[in-house]
Amino acid sequence: MIENYKALLKPEAEELQNRLTQAHARLFAQQMQMKDRNLPVLILFEGWGAAGKGTLLGRVIQNLDPRFFTAVSMHQPTAEEKRKPFLTRFMTQIPEAGRFLFMDSGWMSEICHDVLMDRMDPKTYKERIGSVRRFERGLTDNGYLVLKFFFHISKKEQKKRLDNLLETKNTAWQVDDFDLWENKHYDKCFETYDAFLEDTSTASSPWYVIDAKSKKWAELQIMETIVAGIDMALKNHALTVPLIQNTFPLRKMPKLSEVDLSVSVDPEVYKEELKALQTRLHDLHNQAYRRGIPIIIAYEGWDAAGKGGNIKRLTSALDPRGYEVIPIASPKPFEKSRHHLWRFWVRLPKTGHFAIFDRTWYGRVMVERLEGFCSENDWQRAYNEINEFEKELSDWGAIIIKFWVHIDKDTQLARFTERQNTPEKQWKITDEDWRNREKWDAYEVAVDEMIAKTSTTYAPWHILESNDKHYARLKALRIVIENLEKALDIK
């Protein structure tokens, strides 16, 4: 794949300069069109050390309005970053609609570096490739333009440049140990890079190999590719993309209408058992913390089903330094203008921590679906996107537990009425709750579909029968405890 660069035909100096001027002018005009059309553009620069990525980045952005782009230089992940799923540090950087992100080195560098340093086995490599492909497709499916450049120079050219840089103090700092190692092991690196490009070049986000021997010629290749890419993306407004067949193992789940809500627990038994379970959970949480196991608990459920009280019984068993409750409201403008899962990626716990989401990324297939806040294709695609998201978390080592806090329609009415009639509870009931209640049947269809399509074996849904809130609380605690015991391999 890298060898393709030989096919590029460098124009004569005058033509090159003319085309370069044209491309810069065009890109300057495009930034406003991107803004108007809400197109986010992610541009990744990868390639050999000393191939000129930094310099070229400077040239590409020279005429752009600084309000319209961000440029980041990624290095190998820090210890702190290693406590998050592999994709986190890339996913959290994705641009807002209408803006550029230029990334100097990224997921390719991280993966290839580990391969070259013999720190990644073939199985993990394959897993990473899968993650990368899903990550990039997730972006392009959601309207992002993703352009990936690999800056290529020969071994001889690299050697020459490194020697030049090392000659004077002013530039010697630019050369790091890996650059020298890379040049010494050029053939091995070539093979690794070439395989990575092959493995991750897809129709929707192909790689472009840039002949980087001449800076100006490299600049033209990049500029023209960016300009053509943006033109293409601007034409494809609100693309509908193929739905992919689910590829994850699912558990068979009951429909909500099949759930027996008459289950309950004796108040005395409840008190005792609650205490015992909380003590047990406290202990397990400490062990999970020491072992670095992250736990993600997702709460969804009907209004007034008792989510808040349920969460409270869980958290009161936990060390406050080791958990966070994350309430999810409707997305803010800066969240809405990114991939719908972005606001959850930025809220992931560190290893060893609990993250309890009070409402979640499932809003996409419930409220956003029913209120028309996204297109049909958007929410239909979301089942798979969510399964993929949770797969990343699971591969990272997280325990994922999803609760649907369930009550029947009558119970909701009783609780709404009580709230309305109790002054200190009135803040808990709004007009929106009543409006949502009117849409109960439509919600039930959506929830049934959601539970059927996203109950993967690695992140299953659990239905908490919450007509008796006590029953639901004990059940939640037991499920969390079971999962921790399993992950910690104790019983």
Chain positions contacting a copy of itself, by CB under 8 A: 1, 4, 6-9, 137, 140-141, 202-209, 225, 228-229, 232, 235-236, 239-250, 252, 377, 380, 452
Query: Are 100 and 70 within 8 A, CB to CB?
Result: yes
Contact yes or no for 472/405 (Cβ under 8 A): yes
- In whole angstroms, the minimum distance from the beta carbon of 232 to a copy of itself comes to 5
CA 185 to chain centre: 34
Least distance to a copy of itself, CB of residue 447, Å: 15
Residue closer to a copy of itself by CB (options 105, 454) is 454
Quick one: 335 or 449, whose CB is closer to a copy of itself? 449
109 or 454, CB closer to a copy of itself?
454
Asked if residues 120 and 111 have their Cβ atoms less than 8 Å apart, the reply is yes
**Least distance from C-beta 140 to a copy of itself, angstroms?**
8
Q: Report which of 382, 363, 388, 373 is spatially closest to residue 447, judged by C-alpha positions.
A: 363
Instruction: Decide whether 289 or 461 has the Cβ nearer to a copy of itself.
Output: 461
Question: Residue 133 class from Cβ within 10 Å (0-12 exposed, 13-18 middle, 19+ buried)?
Answer: middle
Which one, 249 or 327, has the nearer CB to a copy of itself? 249
What span, in angstroms and rounded, lies between the C-alpha atoms of 58 and 428?
A: 53
Q: Which of 194, 335 has the CB closer to a copy of itself?
A: 194
CB of 100 to a copy of itself, least distance (A): 17
Cα distance between residue 91 and residue 485, in whole Å = 31
Nearest-approach distance from CB 405 to a copy of itself, in angstroms? 23
**Lateral strand order in the sheet of 295-301:** 323-327, 354-358, 295-301, 399-406, 461-465
Which residue, 154 or 202, has its beta carbon nearer to a copy of itself? Answer: 202
Handedness of CA 266, 272, 278, 280 (dihedral sign): negative
Nearer to a copy of itself, 454 or 467 (CB): 454
Tell me the closest approach of the beta carbon of residue 432 to a copy of itself, in angstroms. Answer: 31
Contact yes or no for 35/29 (Cβ under 8 A): no
CB 20 → a copy of itself: shortest distance, Å?
A: 18
Shortest Å, Cβ 299 to a copy of itself:
24
Nearer to a copy of itself, 203 or 490 (CB): 203
Residue owning tokens 């392009």: 140
How distant, in Å, are the alpha carbons of 135, 243, 256, 434, 441 from that of 448?
Answer: 27, 19, 6, 21, 11
DSSP secondary structure letters along 231-290: HHHHHSTT---PPPPP-S-B-----GGGS-TT----HHHHHHHHHHHHHHHHHHHHHHHH
State the nearest-atom distance from the C-beta of 61 to a copy of itself, in Å.
Answer: 22
Least distance between a copy of itself and beta carbon 363 (Å)? 23
CA angle 440, 443, 444 (to 5 degrees): 85
- Using CA atoms, how far apart are residues 317 and 217, in angstroms rounded to an integer? 63
CA–CA separation, 300 and 298 (whole Å): 7
CA separation (Å) from 299 to 163, 314, 452?
Answer: 58, 12, 17
- Considering beta carbons, is residue 240 or 430 the nearer one to a copy of itself? 240
